[in-house]
Structure 1
Amino acid sequence: MVKRVTAAIEPPSKEDMEAMSDFRYQLRRFLRFSEDVTHTAGVTPLQYQLMLHVRGIPGRHWASVGELAERLQAAPNGTAALVSRCERAGFVVRKASRVDRRQVEVHLTAKGERLLIRLAALHKAEIKASGWLFR
């Protein structure tokens, strides 16, 4: 969803265009790297991203389907289908919340955790090698 800008928009300068072009180029290079390493590991980039977001939710080691949909910028029903595919592959499990039985928590399995750690280490090394800032 694109947020509407209500203030006057200043046209970008040539330098702005160059910077945006370089940003998109570097982003695409990283995404291509990610596609290659995930496919080599036998998973899709979206499966990797889903596992990363399950583990990357601040303060806990699980995520709801709604949170995953937001982080993936995908529809909830498509995200639920992706969770199902990851569940069939043995990467995640769904668990009923102990706090709210209406909520379903998505957790990594040991298999999913091992795969995620291996792939995330490769991604982290690529980010560092690219000179991008990384917390």
Structure 2
Amino acid sequence: MKAAPDASPDALLLTKADYVALSGFRHGVRRYLAFAEAGAKSAGLTGQQHQALLAIKAHEKDRMTVGELADQLMIKNHSAGELVNRLMKARLVKRSQGTIDRRRVLVSLTRTGEGVLAALSQNNFRELQDIAPTFSELVTQLQRLAALQAAARAGSD
């Protein structure tokens, strides 16, 4: 583990409220991720498999190459290929050739994959709505900190 960098001389001191907001945000993110992982597990998926389905659906034309999926999930290409193989075995995705470049292999969701993703996404969206006030509060805190930092820099010029 890397030690935290020393604060720069012009760094702002955080208030107790700032730490409370950051802690609340971090808790909200972890709460959401735990909720999403549990939902994926209840559907027979890993969190990464769920994330892959979501990335494919969110991509242009609802399909992407294995390399694009690897980039999106921040994993190696061969890992993404194995992930796609497992999703294909579960009948959640299919492969097809590109229409312009026939060497390209595109991955898209099957009807089953669409249904599983829709159910998970509806539940996750409801959870995000419950957590939204925490994120909104953090944005307000960050804007306040940015304004204070800008004012401090303007005063030192």
- Normalised-by-shorter TM-score class: 0.7 to 0.9
In structure 1, list runs of 5 or more residues that go unmatched: 1-7
Equivalences, count: 125
Between 1 and 2, higher relative CO (CA 8 Å, sep ≥ 6) is seen in 2
Q: What secondary structure sits across from 1:95 in the alignment?
A: strand
Runs of 5+ unmatched residues, structure 2: 1-7, 136-157
Q: Distance in 2 between matches of 1:60 and 1:10?
A: 45
1:16, CA displacement in angstroms?
4.3
Q: Hey, what's the Cα distance between the residues in 1 that align with 2:11 and 2:125?
A: 36
Q: Summarize the alignment of residues 43-122 of structure 1 with structure 2, pairs less than 5 Å apart.
A: 43-57=45-59, 59-122=60-123
Paired letter, 2:58: G
Structure-1-length-normalised TM-score: 0.83
Quick check: 1:26 aligned with 2:28? yes
Deviation of the 1:12 alpha carbon: 6.0
Over 6 Å off, 4+ runs: none
Q: What percent of counterpart residues are identical?
A: 32
Match of 1:3 in 2: none
Instruction: State which structure, 1 or 2, has the greater radius of gyration over its C-alpha atoms.
Output: 2
Q: Which residue of 1 aligns with 2:14?
A: 13
Q: Which amino acid aligns with 2:96?
A: K
- TM-score w.r.t. the length of structure 2 is 0.72
Give the counterpart letter for 1:32 in structure 2: A
Q: Which structure has greater helix proportion?
A: 2
